[in-house]
Structure 1
Amino acid sequence: MAKKDYYELLGVDRDADQKEIKRAYRKLAKKYHPDMNQEKDTSERFKEISEAYEILSDPDKRARYDQYGHSGINDQDFNFDDFARGGFGGLDDLFNMFGFGGGMGGRRQNGPRRGADLQYRLQISFEEAAFGGKKEIRIPREEECDRCGGSGAEPGTDVKTCPECNGQGQVRSSQQTPFGQFTQTRACPKCGGDGKIVEEACHKCNGSGKVRKQRKLTVNIPAGVDTGTRLRMSGEGQAGEKGGPAGDLYIVIDVQEHKIFDRKGDDLYCEVPISFVQATLGDKIKVPTLEGKVQFDIPEGTQPGTTFRLKNKGIQHLNGYGRGDQYINCLLYTS
């Protein structure tokens, strides 16, 4: 059965910010958590919205999902057992929802925070990998809100110290349980762990300090890249917070196969058919290379399956000098 769209599961738009996604998840989790709802299929529904939340709350996973859909998400990207143990902060949300404060959460970093890194898989042709080139791509990402400058506050309004936690971003609470008194430190519920409260939320970003945009970028592809090569574009990841630097964007190369050449490292391999007469007496033939056809002398007495080398006709060494070689495998054909 096909998986449901993550955005539809949470009931949010595709350009929803993190606050909207978290708010939608909390509302649905309260409704479908098995401890709160005993109806049939509740547990499965809860797992679905939990999976959707983990993917969409992680900038890198969300970017892959936006680009490739469910095919861009690995099985390892979501594990419900990890979620139940709080592997990505799930327990913090559930403790908050069901009245136990911040659960296992602690103080959020109040200072500048670096943005998350992003990953983009770029498919290129065999020739582009061999010779290099430029590619334009569009990346969905969160950028600093240009209206509030990332503060989350509507221009002209104040950002005040949170009176609940006195700017610490965390509060302590005690609760009597059958096992004794339980004391915990949790993110301040009033300011969300920021230590600051905006007087009026920015009208453009709803107080998140970020807006989701499609950014157009030009990727410089160096000659010699291969499938799996990672290219880093510094500062092109998710926006930072509170003046922190943006993360990086990692371009993962995926090279299309060639109809003539096979690549092994920086060497190329191809097959060339020759006749019995050509193999016996020798001949001059045209051999395909990356730059076009070149003349090659087949020596007399060539045996079927003989391999010849064309020096420096392979792929350019990545970030280095020189090229690999091209190997020609002569195959005997009969007319």
Structure 2
Amino acid sequence: MADPGSDGGGIRADWATKDFYKELGVAKTATADEIKKAYRKLARANHPDSHPDDKAKHDKFKAVAEAYDVIGDPEKRKKYDEARRLFASGGFPAGGFGGGGGAGFDVDDLLRQQHSGGGGGFGDLFGDLFGGGFGRRQQRAARGADLETTATIGFAEALEGVTVSLRIAAEGACPTCAGTGGKPGTTPHRCPTCDGTGFVVASVGGAFSMNETCPGCGGRQLVYDDPCPTCHGTGRGSSVRTIQAKIPAGVKDGQRIRLRGKGAPGERGGPAGDLFVTVKVTGHRIFGRKGDDLTLEVPISFTEAALGAEVKVPTLGGAPVTLKVPAGTPNGRTFRIRGRGARKKDGSHGDLLATVEVQVPATLSDEARQALQAYAAATGSTPLRANLFPDGE
């Protein structure tokens, strides 16, 4: 998420001291897919929806979201890596950004010069690296964060499609002050802490110092004497809203659906982020699924398998169909009933795969036993297991 004073592809100055690779638990050489996989795992494990009262997990969720926003973007990652390299190698001016040393200048003066319209200085030197200048008053629009949630639907709903209600918790601009931090109706003035630059100089150890977001105005460059009563001057707020999400027909268990513009609201007029919904599909009492086909186990008797039969079988959401079982059908044979499966993306349907399971009776009446003994006597000469033994045994 962009900060005040940075453009869409810029990097905040204080990010040079943060290890986003460590935050996501990946190596600096990790691929884009590895970074995305690590982020999704951590986001699911620490999502506020799953842990509404766990502040530590809330903080972790924000941290991994910030890390992914930077190193998950190829351009930002490139600039971030360069900032880290310069910081680690001491590639900044002698005496740091805080003045002194052999440089003989005051960064505060340079920032004020740029704020007043003067060119040059660190604002030009590091403008691209840290997002377009340190002292820029204009606050650019920022896209809202992407959010993740889950939705559990029934087996039949997954096949036909369904609209579900989802409760979404997100952090964004305070609804009372619209993110300004001031009491509605009051007038702001230039922040005295940073003199309206949005940044202050902070020591990060040794001879180095860095510009970081001003604690007085939160980078907004302006402050109010009367803070907003809702957010107490932070400009931030959280909200819980309910949205209607359309789950398409044919969705599979574990499938991830992207709902554009349904994520966290943007800041300063920026667009909202996206919402990613992982769909969980509950099982069915008799039907299963294999790709776009449905599966069904059909019990039949020994006589139906041996003599042949017409067996009525159910379909999901439709009328039963008659399955013709030929005489001599073996146990486990699968029959394909076309067009009775899941709906495909093109609107057509998969098939219903009906597998017959020959049932062996657990108990027999005297009459049935005599009939089977007569059958055994009539077929006893058939060497069913002759191929299991070597010749002569």
TM-score (norm 2): 0.56
Instruction: Specify which of 302, 306, 314 is matched with residue 329 of structure 2.
Output: 302
- Are 2:190 and 1:164 aligned? no
Q: Deviation digits for residues 200-258 of structure 1, max 9, x if unmatched?
A: 21112222334323212112121100122222233222222222222222211011112
Task: Report the residue type matching 1:224 in the other structure.
Answer: G
Task: Name the residue aligned to 1:130.
Answer: 159
Q: Deviation of residue 286 (structure 1)?
A: 1.4
Name the % identity.
38
Alignment of structure 1 residues 256-271 onto 2, 5 Å: 256-271=282-297
> Which stretch shifts more, 151-160 or 232-241?
232-241
Q: Deviation of residue 119 (structure 1)?
A: 0.8
Change (3 A) 1:237 1:77: closer
Task: Name the residue aligned to 1:272.
Answer: 298
Task: Report the residue type matching 1:219 in the other structure.
Answer: A
- Are 2:256 and 1:234 aligned? no
Q: Deviation of residue 146 (structure 1)?
A: 3.5
Change (3 A) 1:141 1:176: closer
Task: Name the residue aligned to 1:244.
Answer: 270
- Are 2:296 and 1:311 aligned? no
3-state SS, counterpart of residue 266 of structure 2: coil
Change (3 A) 1:198 1:239: farther
Change (3 A) 1:220 1:210: same
Instruction: Specify which of 59, 63, 84 is matched with residue 48 of structure 2.
Output: 63
Q: Deviation digits for residues 79-131 of structure 1, max 9, x if unmatched?
A: 99xx9xxx9xxxxxxxxxxxxx99xxx76994222221111110111010011
Q: Which runs of 5+ in 2 are unaligned?
A: 1-42, 72-96, 99-129, 362-393
Alignment of structure 1 residues 203-242 onto 2, 5 Å: 203-242=229-268
3-state SS, counterpart of residue 277 of structure 1: helix
Provide the C-alpha distance between the structure 2 equivalents of 1:126 and 1:273, rounded to a whole number of angstroms. Answer: 22
> Which stretch shifts more, 307-316 or 243-252?
243-252
Q: Deviation of residue 197 (structure 1)?
A: 1.8
Change (3 A) 1:148 1:267: same
Higher strand share: 1
Change (3 A) 1:211 1:78: closer
Provide the C-alpha distance between the structure 2 equivalents of 1:175 and 1:285, rounded to a whole number of angstroms. Answer: 79
Provide the C-alpha distance between the structure 2 equivalents of 1:193 and 1:298, rounded to a whole number of angstroms. Answer: 75
User: 2:151, 2:280 within 8 Å by CA — same for their partners in 1?
Assistant: yes
Q: Deviation digits for residues 36-62 of structure 1, max 9, x if unmatched?
A: xxxxxxxxxxxxxxxxxxxxxx89944
Q: Deviation of residue 156 (structure 1)?
A: 1.5
User: 2:159, 2:249 within 8 Å by CA — same for their partners in 1?
Assistant: yes
| Residue correspondences, number | 255
Task: Report the residue type matching 2:278 in the other structure.
Answer: V
TM-score (norm 1): 0.65
Task: Report the residue type matching 2:144 in the other structure.
Answer: G
Task: Name the residue aligned to 2:142.
Answer: 113
Provide the C-alpha distance between the structure 1 equivalents of 2:135 and 2:152, rounded to a whole number of angstroms. Answer: 38
3-state SS, counterpart of residue 331 of structure 1: strand
Change (3 A) 1:173 1:290: closer
Provide the C-alpha distance between the structure 2 equivalents of 1:172 and 1:234, rounded to a whole number of angstroms. Answer: 38
Q: CA-atom RMSD, angstroms?
A: 3.9
Provide the C-alpha distance between the structure 1 equivalents of 2:49 and 2:159, rounded to a whole number of angstroms. Answer: 26
Change (3 A) 1:282 1:59: closer
Provide the C-alpha distance between the structure 1 equivalents of 2:330 and 2:179, rounded to a whole number of angstroms. Answer: 71
3-state SS, counterpart of residue 304 of structure 2: helix
Task: Report the residue type matching 2:301 in the other structure.
Answer: S
Q: Which runs of 5+ in 1 are unaligned?
A: 1-57, 88-100
Provide the C-alpha distance between the structure 1 equivalents of 2:214 and 2:267, rounded to a whole number of angstroms. Answer: 18
Instruction: Specify which of 207, 210, 214 is matched with residue 184 of structure 1.
Output: 210
User: 2:172, 2:267 within 8 Å by CA — same for their partners in 1?
Assistant: no
Task: Name the residue aligned to 2:310.
Answer: 284
Provide the C-alpha distance between the structure 2 equivalents of 1:60 and 1:117, rounded to a whole number of angstroms. Answer: 16
User: 2:49, 2:169 within 8 Å by CA — same for their partners in 1?
Assistant: no
3-state SS, counterpart of residue 180 of structure 2: coil
Change (3 A) 1:281 1:122: same
